[in-house]
Amino acid sequence: MNVKAKRAIFILVFSEFLVCLGISLVIPVMPFLKNQLHLTAADMGIMTSLYALAQLIGSPIIGMLSDRIGRRPLLVLGLALFMVSEFVFAISNQLLMFDLSRIIGGISGAMVVPTAMAMAADITTERQRARVIGWLSASFSGGLILGPGIGGMLANVSYKLPFWCAGMLGFLSMLIMLFFLPREAELGHHLKQATEQQPVRWQKFMTGPIILLLGLILVSAFGLAGFEGIYSIYVNEVFAFSINNIAVVLILNGIISLILQVVFFDRLVEWLNEIRVIRYSFLFSTIGVVWILFAHTKVEVVIATLLVFSAMDVIRPAVTTLLTKFSRDGQGFLNGLNMSLTSVGNIIGPSMAGFLLDVNYHYPYIIVVIFLTLSVLLTYALKHPKHN
């Protein structure tokens, strides 16, 4: 990897960290915003869903566009839209403007996250890719871990301050991308001009192995999002976890996640290969959820939770790394499709789990176990692209 490629990777990692920090800064403010502006739970739910829906629709389209015109312009534009979405939220007190802000934010997320992954895949070898995608995943996790704490402190000054700060972080990331991120040609990855390049034909990528992997992404997204979506409610109502108990679990998970993704992820992939890492991670996730269902003490729940969350934190970069190895071109489209399918799980999984939770506390996690078990079985049908 040459010097400019290393600089590009560092900028991608740092910018993704800043954006994720900005996204999570506003998390502690949302309940206060609901009460302050007299919004309903349905209003807040729709607001959240609009972000995921915009991301779902936009990701594959933007991915194909990035394959034609290059990654850098879309990264810069995506960060600019992120800045706009946060500033719109900061200056408004009307639900319609909040919803518009979330739609813009979802489009910006569709531009930034899969495009950064695609660019990382473009400029790395297969041997380097697991390490770099592990770093990107760690920057994503790190921003989400630190953000709520910082956002809570900022909200003590003003409940709109986290949104202003998030917008400024987006502006800073945009400037870094604009002035310091090397162009594709400088990195040795030459995309033809849009006028010369043939449109990316999605049918080219719909081969058996890729369809199977995309199916695995969709099935696993339901299970993982279903587990995460109701976790706080479940442990609070079934095991009497306090807010402090949940915070401790999330902090411990954040520390373990960063260590796994930065230090051990590429070594695990090199030792086992992506498919075995995915399979064993799903297996450990399944064991952890079953353990939670049969646990009797808080200590058991904490250990089982850390097992599940740690496995999840390995699954996501492993699936992304494997997907990038199926084709040298069309990385934008493939990563956009990956995010789009994950968004489907993020929209439907928590809703399904919440509905089942109202019927019986244990039903959601029984369904999660079924989805995770199906994911384990699907990994046995996967083949590494080197052997196809």
When divided into structural domains, the chain yields a total of 2
pLDDT of residue 193: 40
> pLDDT tens digits for 210-245?
888 888 888 888 887 788 778 888 888 889 888 778
Most confident of the ranges 27-41, 133-147, 152-166, 188-202: 152-166
Contact 151, 28 (CB under 8 A): yes
Contact 209, 385 (CB under 8 A): yes
What percentage of the chain carries pLDDT values higher than 70?
Answer: 90
Q: Are residues 277 and 354 in the same domain?
A: yes
Q: What is the CA radius of gyration of the chain?
A: 20
Q: Are residues 140 and 243 in the same domain?
A: no
Average pLDDT, the chain: 83
CA nearest 127: which of 266, 261, 13?
266
Is 189 domain-assigned?
Answer: no
Is 190 domain-assigned?
Answer: no
pLDDT at 114 over 60: yes
Contact 56, 344 (CB under 8 A): yes
pLDDT of residue 84: 94
- Average pLDDT (326-333) is 75
Is 198 domain-assigned?
Answer: no
Q: Are residues 20 and 168 in the same domain?
A: yes
- Average pLDDT (288-305) is 94
pLDDT at 291 over 70: yes
Contact 128, 8 (CB under 8 A): no
Is 100 domain-assigned?
Answer: yes
Helices (H), the chain: 3-25, 29-36, 41-69, 71-91, 95-122, 126-155, 161-180, 208-229, 231-239, 243-259, 265-272, 274-294, 298-324, 331-359, 363-379
pLDDT at 297 over 80: yes
Query: In sequence order, what are the residues at sequence separation of 6 or more whose Cβ sits closer than 8 angstroms to the Cβ of residue 178?
Result: 76
Q: Are residues 169 and 308 in the same domain?
A: no
Is 98 domain-assigned?
Answer: yes
Is 173 domain-assigned?
Answer: yes
Q: Which residue has the higher pLDDT, 152 or 93?
A: 93
Q: Are residues 154 and 112 in the same domain?
A: yes
pLDDT at 285 over 90: yes
Q: Which two tokens stand for residue 18?
A: 């800043």
pLDDT at 191 over 50: no
What percentage of the chain carries pLDDT values higher than 90?
Answer: 19
Q: Are residues 177 and 211 in the same domain?
A: no
Q: Are residues 154 and 218 in the same domain?
A: no
> pLDDT tens digits for 134-155?
888 888 777 877 777 788 788 8
> What stretch of H or E contains 297?
none
Q: Lowest mean pLDDT of 101-115, 193-207, 330-344, name the range.
A: 193-207
CATH label of the domain that carries residue 98: 1.20.1250.20
**Residue range(s) defining the domain that contains residue 163:** 3-184
CB atoms within 10 A of CB 114: 32
Q: Which residue has the higher pLDDT, 194 or 229?
A: 229
Q: Are residues 224 and 339 in the same domain?
A: yes
Q: Lowest mean pLDDT of 5-9, 186-190, 308-312, name the range.
A: 186-190
pLDDT of residue 347: 77
Q: Lowest mean pLDDT of 41-55, 235-249, 272-286, name the range.
A: 41-55
With 0-12 / 13-18 / 19 or more C-beta atoms within 10 angstroms meaning exposed / middle / buried, residue 209 is middle
Q: Are residues 285 and 140 in the same domain?
A: no
pLDDT bracket for residue 287 (50, 70, 90): very high
pLDDT of residue 195: 34
Q: Are residues 171 and 213 in the same domain?
A: no
Q: Are residues 218 and 147 in the same domain?
A: no
pLDDT at 194 over 50: no
pLDDT of residue 160: 86
Q: Are residues 236 and 361 in the same domain?
A: yes
pLDDT at 196 over 70: no
